[in-house]
Amino acid sequence: MEAVDESMTATGSPGALVVVVDYAEGSDRVRLTTLTSVGGSDEHTVDVDNLAVEVAGIERAKTVRWVWDSTAAWYPVLVDTGVRVERCHDLRLARRILLASELSGPVGQAERLPADPAWDDWDGGWAAGPESTAARLAAEHPEPAALFTQEAFDLAAPVVVTTSSETPEPGHEAPAHSRDAVEEWQRQQTLLTDLAEGHPGAAHRLRLLLAAESSGALAAVELHHDGLPFRRDIHESTLTERLGPRPRPGARPAKLEALAREIREILGAPALNPDSLPHLLRELRRNGLDVSSTSKWELERIDHPVVAPLTQYKKGSRLLSANGWAWLDAWATDGRFRPDYVPGGVVTGRWSSRGGGALSLPHVIRDAVRAQEGWRLVVVDAAQLEPRILAAMSRDEAMLAAGEGRDLYGGLVEAGVVDTRAHAKVGMLAVLYGGTSGNAALLLPRLARAYPRAMRLVDDAARTGEAGGIVTTWLGRSSPPPGPEWRAVQAAASDVGAGAAEESRARSRAREWGRFTRNFVVQGSAAEWVLAWQAGVRLGLRRLARQRGLSDSEAPHLAFFLHDELVVHAPVELADAVGTLVEESARAASVLLFPHLGRPGLVPMPFG
């Protein structure tokens, strides 16, 4: 922690500028409050129609951190008019992290950030859907500015706060609550500066986390706007090939209907609707099949003529409902797939998405993802990210060495810890998820012997969770406490009159929560590394575009993001430069989060 702190300690720089963006009271003018690092402040208002021009002007002239109540509320309109910013501080996302974080505990969050429904009961506009981007402001396209990973995390960067008593909704509806962005910014800063006095490392980590989270919020809006190039015609031929021609709405495609008929015939159930799971299960059992569910993994191990057509039907049915013609009409209309990304949508800090099912873009449809003519898609995923992050967090030298500059699972085999790569993978997943059955259980003791520090970290997290405690990621995102129902089950088991049933139920629920907290520390810390990586790539791409004098439509851009995978859409002649940038950003992220290791090669990335 001390090392992290030393390398990234933020000192106020004289040119630092903070601008808070907010609505001026009872009007459609926006107030911009500029705060300098020496404590000065200055405010002026602009007409909402001129906001984009104003922001572009300030952004071009100064290094700024824009502060607003929610990136989802303010940024889409700017991006739609061609105005992008380098950095922001998303007050709502930051508040959520600070309120929950154990790292901010020593200074008492409750006093520093008192409960406030205007902030705490507000979704920030992330749930509003794509229509929330409908509003338009007029502006010229400014030149994008440049940055890089270190700059993205330049904590001394100036701040512009937009303070507003309401968020800019289409139609300017009356606000349900009033939020003062300047006040909230100051509360959060006070909390962090107070924390820094007694716990500089903790304050530093939280500042990194807030910067990363906010950068992700900007990227999420830009990703939706730019989209992933997607060839409708290719996807349509995939659908036709697997399902038959597009049917009337509500009707079953021909190939699925044929499979349904076959299933009914084999089972001797002429009225069977294979989409009805209870009915299907009943018919399977009536035919003497010993199954307790209709799931794939159970059907797989059964030898019966119905299994093949049924499995095929399920596959097709899934394709139709999740990524069929209706999906295509809704989500890939203009040659781009534009899911709505929701930063921080998952407790662990990963993103979720709403609409379009972006978080399970199935492999069968990825064929339709094609670069524009003269462009390339640079697809990169951080291989075996979670075990590497675990090794780094726990400073497990042996595990770090196993993954250094190569396939980590292969490294486990070479080190003689396990005999095959497959075993390495199963065993490692058991370490991360808390698996205790079958093969995994046999492998765990070997891994525990070889990598005691890594094992201790996740075991401690699990034990804390089992006891109802809270665990925290590397940069300070804390897990939620178990709910009242969970506590009630535990309490019931410790009653004097508790029977074996209560005890076993309580134990099982406790283990369940322990598996959650075990995974939380690793998944959440990995998400932090990925955000740092993404931030570096995002700003590096802006720098690249600026150096080459490219306009928005000529510039390479982030096109897709999924947990540990980045896709950049780039002009052919820039593809190599982008590849280099992506790798450099990964190294920079590793140094930023784990400076004590001195291992920038922590996370190698095979290109896809």
Binding to DNA, residues 334-393 (CB under 7 A): 342, 345-348, 350, 352-357, 359-364, 381
CA distances from 163 to 44, 48, 74, 435 (A): 11, 13, 11, 48
Rule CB under 7 A: say whether 248 interacts with DNA. no
Near DNA by CB under 7 A: residue from 27, 190, 193, 273? 273
Among 440, 506, 582, 591, the residue binding DNA under the rule CB under 7 A is 440
Residue with smaller CB distance to DNA, 153 or 516: 516
Among 344, 434, 556, 571, binds DNA (CB under 7 A): 434
Hey, how many other C-beta atoms are within 10 angstroms of the C-beta on 404? 15
Question: 300 to 339, contacts with DNA by CB under 7 A?
Answer: 314-315, 318, 321-322, 326-327
Number of CB atoms found within 10 A of residue 61's CB? 9
64 binds DNA (CB under 7 A): no
> Candidates 91-99, 151-159, 278-286, 391-399 — which segment interacts with DNA by CB under 7 A?
278-286
Q: Which is nearer to DNA, 158 or 349 (CB)?
A: 349
Pick the binder of DNA from 433, 502, 552, 597 (CB under 7 A).
433
Tell the smallest beta-carbon distance from residue 514 to DNA (Å): 9
Residue 293, judged by CB atoms within 10 A of its CB (0-12, 13-18, 19+), counts as exposed
> Among candidates 561, 564, 529, 523, which has minimal Cα distance to 358?
561
CA-based Rg of the chain, rounded to a whole angstrom? 26
When asked if residue 407 is in the footprint of DNA (CB under 7 A), the reply is: no
Sign of CA dihedral 464, 468, 469, 470: positive
Q: Is 74:442 a contact under the CB 8 Å cutoff?
A: no
For residue 222, the minimal CB distance to DNA (Å) is: 20
State which residue, 3 or 326, has the beta carbon closest to DNA: 326
CB contact set of 345 (below 8 Å; sequence gap of 6+): 126, 351, 352, 353, 354
The SS3 of residue 328 is helix
When the beta carbons of 238 and 352 are compared against DNA, the nearer one is 352
- Rounded to a whole number of angstroms, the minimum distance from the CB of residue 374 to DNA is 27
- How far apart CA 337 and CA 228 sit, in angstroms, is 5
Q: Characterize the bridge pairing of strands 352-354 and 340-342.
A: antiparallel
414 C-beta neighbours (distance < 10 Å), count: 12
Residues that contact DNA, how many (by CB under 7 A): 58
Selected from 138, 271, 297, 373, the binder of DNA by CB under 7 A is 297
Given 119, 516, 529, 560, the residue binding DNA (CB under 7 A) = 516
Nearest alpha carbon to residue 216 among 568, 570, 533: 533
Give the closest residue to 157 by CA, choosing from 7, 43, 5, 10.
Answer: 10
**In terms of Cα–Cα distance, which of 596, 586, 533 is closest to 6?**
596
| String marking each residue 472-511 x if it binds DNA according to CB under 7 A | ------------------------------------x---
| Selected binder of DNA within 429, 448, 492, 498 (CB under 7 A) | 429
Is 475 in contact with 206 (CB distance < 8 Å)?
yes
Select from 136, 261, 296, 487 the one that contacts DNA (CB under 7 A): 296
What is the nearest approach in angstroms of DNA to the Cβ of residue 372? 22
Taking the complex as a whole, the smallest distance from the CB of residue 257 to DNA amounts, in Å, to 13
CA-to-CA distance for 350 and 523, rounded, in angstroms? Answer: 8
Torsion sign, CA atoms 190, 191, 195, 201: negative
d(CA 225, CA 559): 9
Give the binding range for DNA (CB under 7 A) out of 30-38, 40-48, 236-244, 271-279.
271-279
- Interface of this chain with DNA, residues 537 to 576, rule: CB under 7 A: 562-565
Q: Least distance (Å) from DNA to the CB of residue 110?
A: 24
Smaller CB distance to DNA: residue 23 or 520?
Answer: 520
- Please say which residue, 82 or 469, places its beta carbon nearer to DNA: 469
Q: What residues are paired with 472 via a beta bridge?
A: 478
Select 435 or 595, whichever has its Cβ closest to DNA.
Answer: 435
Tokens of 367: 């064929």
CA separation, residue 216 to residues 209, 257, 400, 512, 559 (Å):
10, 44, 28, 30, 14
Query: Hey, which residues between 80 and 99 contact DNA (CB under 7 A)?
Result: none
In whole angstroms, give the CA distance from residue 564 to residue 358: 14
For the CB of residue 462, give the shortest distance to DNA in the complex, in Å.
10
Query: Would you say 324 or 540 has its CB closer to DNA?
Result: 324
Facing residues of 88 across strands? 66
In the complex, the smallest distance separating the C-beta of residue 382 from DNA, rounded to whole angstroms, is 8
Q: Alpha carbon of 11 to those of 88, 156, 182, 309: distances in Å?
A: 18, 6, 21, 66
CB of 383 to DNA, least distance (A): 9
Q: Which stretch binds DNA (CB under 7 A): 139-147, 191-199, 258-266, 430-438?
A: 430-438
Given the complex with DNA, which of 413 and 486 has the nearer CB atom?
Answer: 486
Take residue 370 and report the two structure tokens written for it.
Answer: 């094609």
Of 179 and 515, which CB lies nearer to DNA in the complex structure? 515
CA 122 to chain CA mean position, Å:
19
Residue whose entry in the numeric block shows the structure tokens 């940069």: 475
Report which secondary-structure segment, H or E, holds 47.
Answer: strand 41-47
Determine how many CB atoms are found less than 10 A away from the CB of residue 65.
26
* d(C-alpha 499, C-alpha 33), whole Å: 63
277 binds DNA (CB under 7 A): yes
Tell me: does residue 285 bind DNA (CB under 7 A).
no
The CB-of-275 to DNA minimum distance in angstroms stands at 4
Residues 111-130 that bind DNA (CB under 7 A): none
Binding site for DNA (CB under 7 A): 273, 275-279, 281, 293-297, 314-315, 318, 321-322, 326-327, 342, 345-348, 350, 352-357, 359-364, 381, 429-430, 433-437, 440-441, 508, 512, 515-516, 519-520, 523, 562-565
